[in-house]
């Protein structure tokens, strides 16, 4: 009997030791405290006693010591309280339809909603709201939420895609609190500004900064913008940039970001000057659409080849490729290979600057144009007409559509497109590869989605410019391309033609 009892206690002891070891191992792996393994009745008891705690009741400084900062603080808060009630949040919705095939080969249609967010600002007591065109473009439902949380449906009155402005009307007979459109020509680099909007759908947000620069041109169609370091993030688009008196001096439109897929604020934001906004607003309210000036001329930027061929000594200007029959340009006497030096007294740096000036010209006004032709400057005059549609500048000029050029482009086998406006406005440049033709020289070298920045070390800004440079290069030599693929810069080369 005694040996059996000894074996029992021996096994019990082994079990207890094994159990404690396993428990200790688990406690260690979970980051626990080994003191928790000691039974509470064996632990030394401690008694809590009150700590001596004497907080101060005095501020580090009196308001009289920081009187100027205190007044500035109060004025910032007062400005915010005056501006925020006029800023609205915009929620949009549309439906995308896709046709799918099931396992039995039957087709069915699937519709799903796509939602978006943005900001806007009330500019009339009747409830007219200014926002960005890209906030509401293609949307089927628009809903506006004002400062006090009330939500309304809204109607699109008109839009100007050229400067990225849209005008909405709140569907209500209530009287609203508008903000005044200020004079953006009085804005100075370095002056304090406040950006108000709805970033990331968080609701009313105010950020403060300065105007960092003026006359920033970020796309071929966009007019000059203000650059600001006031924080602007996705969702701020369409919100106002205000000055110290609460006047709108800009409409926030874009941020500069190096990440195309996940844009975020990098300390550089852009706003449309209020004078351009006021001009577009007036045209939309009166006529329901924007009015653009029309000259009727095909242009392109100067490059070394053009300057050498024409003997033009300067790097700035825009060269005429052709004119539309019966257009103001033809009537004025503009001819191919003319280099436009100035327009309405303003020096021309590049084609996008010239196009912007033409589009902003008053309809019916006679404009003085200075061109360089055959080693001398010539003064011409053109009477601006209204453009019935947005000018199209990214078509290959007719004189370039020769059989040889088209055959060369087919042999290379790459199709490109211009970048979307919102990406151009975030600072991206170049063209994006949209398709690679099977059997073409570009197959296996370029991929759809590649961003082409330069061709033979010449920067590319449009699809037209890419094809104009590609055809003569690919006809005689290997063509070098600077591209960005999945965020990584690369240099590739298209082969020279087989002799």
Closest by Cα among 236, 230, 276 to 252:
236
CA distance 469 to 466: 5
The lowest-confidence range among 1-5, 47-51, 240-244, 476-480 is 1-5
Highest mean pLDDT among 142-146, 204-208, 456-460 belongs to 142-146
Euclidean distance between CA atoms 106 and 291, whole angstroms: 49
Measured over the CA atoms of residue 466, residue 468, residue 469 and residue 472, the dihedral's sign is: positive
Clarify whether 164 is annotated catalytic: yes
pLDDT in tens, 405-434: 677 888 888 888 877 655 554 556 788 888
The single-letter DSSP state of residue 234 is T
Residue for token pair 């060369």: 408
Cβ atoms of 498 and 492 within 8 Å: the answer is no
Task: Check 128, 134, 469, 482 and give the catalytic one.
Answer: 134
3-state secondary structure of 413: coil
Q: Is 134 assigned a catalytic role?
A: yes
CA atoms of 87 and 128, how far apart (whole Å): 12
Beta bridge partners, 206, equal 196
Q: What is the mean pLDDT of residues 211-237?
A: 70
Residue 318: predicted pLDDT: 86
Out of 29-33, 102-106, 390-394, 475-479, the most confident range is 475-479
Given the candidates 3.40.50.1220, 3.30.300.180, 2.40.10.10, 3.40.50.2000, the CATH classification of the domain at 85-100+108-170 is 2.40.10.10
Q: Do domains 184-287 and 398-494 have the same CATH topology?
A: no
Span 291-331, pLDDT tens digits: 778 888 877 777 777 778 888 888 788 888 888 777 888 89
**Residues 39-66: tens digit of each pLDDT:** 555 555 566 778 888 888 888 888 777 7
H/E stretch holding 247: none
Residue 473 has pLDDT above 90, yes or no: no
Q: What DSSP element (H or E) covers 84?
A: none
Catalytic residue flag (residue 36) = no
Other Cβ atoms less than 10 A from the Cβ of 413: the count is 18
Q: How far apart are CA 77 and CA 71, in angstroms?
A: 10
Most confident of 19-33, 458-472, 479-493: 479-493
- pLDDT recorded at residue 357: 83
- pLDDT at res. 141: 86
pLDDT given at position 70: 83
Which residue out of 91, 160, 164, 338 is catalytically annotated? 164
Structure tokens at 3: 């040996």
Residue 393 is predicted with a pLDDT of 31
DSSP state for residue 335 in the 8-state scheme: -
pLDDT at 255: 60
pLDDT at 30: 65
Backbone phi and psi for residue 194, each to the nearest 5 degrees, phi listed first: -130, 130
Share of the chain above pLDDT 90, in %: 15
Class of domain 398-494: mainly beta
Show the beta-strand stretches assigned E in 125-283. Answer: 128-131, 141-145, 151-160, 165-170, 192-197, 205-216, 225-228, 240-242, 248-255, 269-273
- Annotation: CATH topology of 184-287: Thrombin, subunit H (2.40.10)
The average confidence (pLDDT) of the chain is 79
Give CA–CA dist 181/128, Å, rounded. 13
- For residue 380, how many other CB atoms are within 10 A of its CB? 18
- Per-residue buried b or exposed e for 454-481, using 16+ beta carbons within 10 Å of the residue's own CB: bbeeeebbbbbbbbbbbbebbbeeebeb
Distance CA 411, CA 38 (A): 82
Question: Rounded to two decimals, what is the model's pTM?
Answer: 0.58
pLDDT-derived band at 103, boundaries 50, 70, 90: low
Is the pLDDT at 495 greater than 80, yes or no?
Answer: yes
pLDDT in tens, 323-348: 877 788 889 999 888 889 999 988 88
For residue 396, name the pLDDT band (cuts at 50, 70, 90).
Answer: very low
Tokens read off for 276: 């351009």
The pair phi, psi for residue 360, each rounded to 5°, is -90, -5
For the chain, domain boundaries: 85-100+108-170, 184-287, 293-386, 398-494
CA-based nearest residue to 303, from 455, 408, 419, 407: 455
Catalytic residue among 184, 221, 237, 271: 237
pLDDT at 288: 74
What is the end-to-end Cα distance of the chain in Å, rounded?
107
Average of per-residue pLDDT across 115-139: 87
Q: How confident is the model at residue 260 (pLDDT cuts 50, 70, 90)?
A: very low
Name the CATH topology of 293-386.
Pdz3 Domain (2.30.42)
Place of tokens 């549309």: 94
18's tokens:
């094994």
Quote the tokens at residue 281: 């607003």
What is the rounded distance in angstroms from the CA atom of residue 401 to the CA atom of residue 415? 15
Q: Which of the residue ranges 5-9, 284-288, 388-392 would you say has the lowest mean pLDDT?
A: 388-392
How much is the pLDDT for 301? 77
Kindly tell me if the per-residue pLDDT of 350 is higher than 50: yes
Angle, CA of 174, 177 and 180, to the nearest 5°: 135
Longest Cα–Cα distance of the chain, Å, equals 127
């Amino acid at each position: 009997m005694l040996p059996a009892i000894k074996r029992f206690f021996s096994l019990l002891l082994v079990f207890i030791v094994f159990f404690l070891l396993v428990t200790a191992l688990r406690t260690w792996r979970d980051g626990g405290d080994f003191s928790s393994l000691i039974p509470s009745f064996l632990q030394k008891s401690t008694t809590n006693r009150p700590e001596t705690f004497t907080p101060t009741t005095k501020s580090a400084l009196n308001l009289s010591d920081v009187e100027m900062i205190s007044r500035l603080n109060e004025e910032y808060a007062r400005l915010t309280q005056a501006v925020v009630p006029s800023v609205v949040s915009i929620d949009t919705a549309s439906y995308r339809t896709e046709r799918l095939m099931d396992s039995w080969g039957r087709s069915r249609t699937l519709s799903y909603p796509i939602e978006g967010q943005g900001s806007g600002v009330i500019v009339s007591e009747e409830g007219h709201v200014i926002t960005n065109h890209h906030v509401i473009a293609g949307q089927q439902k628009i809903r506006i939420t004002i400062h006090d949380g009330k939500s309304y449906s809204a109607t699109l009155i008109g839009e100007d895609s050229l400067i990225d402005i849209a005008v909405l009307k709140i569907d209500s007979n209530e009287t609203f609190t508008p903000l005044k459109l200020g004079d953006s020509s009085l804005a100075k680099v370095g002056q304090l500004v406040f950006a108000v909007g709805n970033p990331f759908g968080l609701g009313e947000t105010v950020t403060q900064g300065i105007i960092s620069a003026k006359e920033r041109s970020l796309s071929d169609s966009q007019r000059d913008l203000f650059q600001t370091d006031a924080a602007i993030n996705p969702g701020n688009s369409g919100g106002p940039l205000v000055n110290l008196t609460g006047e709108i001096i800009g409409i926030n439109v874009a941020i500069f970001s190096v990440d195309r897929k996940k844009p975020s604020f990098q300390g550089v934001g852009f706003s449309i000057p209020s004078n351009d906004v006021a001009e577009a607003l007036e045209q939309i309210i009166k006529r329901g659409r924007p009015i653009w000036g029309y000259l009727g001329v095909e242009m392109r930027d100067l490059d070394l080849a053009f300057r050498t061929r024409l003997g033009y000594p300067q790097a700035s200007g825009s060269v005429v490729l052709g004119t539309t029959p019966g257009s103001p340009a033809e009537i004025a006497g503009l001819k191919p290979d003319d280099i436009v030096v100035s327009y309405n007294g303003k020096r021309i740096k590049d084609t996008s600057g010239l196009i912007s000036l033409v589009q902003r010209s008053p309809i019916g006004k006679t404009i003085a144009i200075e061109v360089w032709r055959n080693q001398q400057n010539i003064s011409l005059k053109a009477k601006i007409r209204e453009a019935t549609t947005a000018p199209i500048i990214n078509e290959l000029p007719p004189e370039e559509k020769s059989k040889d050029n088209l055959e060369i482009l087919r042999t290379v086998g790459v199709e490109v497109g211009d970048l979307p406006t919102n990406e151009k406005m975030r600072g991206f440049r170049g063209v994006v590869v949209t398709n690679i033709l099977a059997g073409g020289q570009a197959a296996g070298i370029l991929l759809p989605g590649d961003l082409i920045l330069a061709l033979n070390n010449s920067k590319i800004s449009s699809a037209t410019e890419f094809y104009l440079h590609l055809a003569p290069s690919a006809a005689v030599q290997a063509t070098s391309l600077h591209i960005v693929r999945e965020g990584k810069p690369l240099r590739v080369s298209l082969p020279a033609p087989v002799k």
